[in-house]
Amino acid sequence: MSVSLQKRLNTLVSDVQAIQKELFLSRIGQIQHSRRTITSWYALSQKVSAAWDLVSAVDEITAQREKKW
């Protein structure tokens, strides 16, 4: 009986370790995806900033809020 319980415990421990490994790899994948997203947004913000020639963000927002009817 003791050998059977030991085998079950070993199986359970190996299953838990496999689950921990999968969770760790999943978290790494999420972190890499987040970093790619942040990098993409940063690159896009640089393009938008480069397209604004000599116009500050405050001036642009003010111009958009002025009602011209």
* pLDDT tens-digit map of 4-59: 999 999 999 999 999 999 999 999 999 999 999 999 999 998 888 777 777 777 88
The first and second tokens of residue 5, run together, are 């319980």
Q: How far is CA 52 from CA 14, 45, 47, 58, in A?
A: 58, 11, 9, 12
d(CA 60, CA 58): 5
Instruction: State the pLDDT at residue 68.
Output: 65
Q: How far is CA 21 from CA 12, 13, 33, 35, 61, in A?
A: 14, 12, 18, 21, 49
Q: Give the predicted TM-score (pTM) of the model.
A: 0.53
Instruction: State the pLDDT at residue 22.
Output: 96
